[in-house]
């Protein structure tokens, strides 16, 4: 069995594999998050100024958005989940998603 790409245009990759033994399709999702993480690390070293009262706090790969929804029940696109998003951004395991080295309040 080999993996076949489903959608190559999206940064979130979905590969499909046929499992002949169980007569089913297996889907695997993944994303190369390294470029986003490296860019965030560089942004953390800089002092970013506010523009029109706003500044970029984080850059979250699509794979992580899906992981948070699945593992933590936190939907980044739901305004009612703001506290959960902030909690996860301040978690040491996700520190490289922040564009700032400061604690997000």
Q: Who's near 48: CB < 8 A, 6+ residues apart?
A: 55, 56, 99, 100
Residue whose entry in the numeric block shows the structure tokens 């560089």: 42
Ranges of each domain in the chain: 1-30, 33-105
Share of the chain above pLDDT 70, in %: 88
Joined together, the tokens standing for residue 98 give 């922040």
Q: Which residue has the tokens 């564009």?
A: 99
What confidence tens digit (pLDDT) does each residue in 76-98 have? 999 999 999 999 999 999 999 99
Tell me how many degrees the CA angle 48-99-95 measures, rounded to the nearest 5: 145
Which range, of 30-39, 67-76, 86-95, averages the lowest pLDDT?
30-39
Specify whether the CB–CB gap between 64 and 79 falls below 8 A.
no
Predicted pLDDT of residue 2: 58
Look at residue 95 in the predicted model and tell me its pLDDT. 92
Angle in degrees, 0-180, between the axes of helices 62-72 and 82-90, rounded to the nearest 10: 110
* Residues 30, 13 contacting (CB under 8 angstroms): yes
> What pTM value is reported for the model?
0.70
- Residue 53 binned pLDDT confidence (cut-offs 50, 70, 90): confident
Mean pLDDT of 61-67: 90
């Amino acid at each position: 069995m080999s993996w076949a790409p489903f959608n190559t245009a999206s940064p979130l990759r979905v590969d499909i594999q046929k499992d002949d033994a169980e007569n089913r399709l297996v889907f695997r999702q993944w994303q190369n998050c390294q470029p986003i993480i490296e860019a965030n690390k560089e942004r953390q070293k800089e002092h970013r100024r506010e523009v029109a009262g706003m500044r970029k706090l984080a850059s979250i790969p699509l794979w992580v958005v899906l992981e948070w929804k699945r593992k933590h029940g936190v939907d980044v696109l739901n305004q009612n989940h703001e506290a959960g998003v902030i909690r996860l951004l301040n978690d040491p395991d996700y520190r490289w998603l922040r564009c700032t080295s400061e604690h997000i309040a």
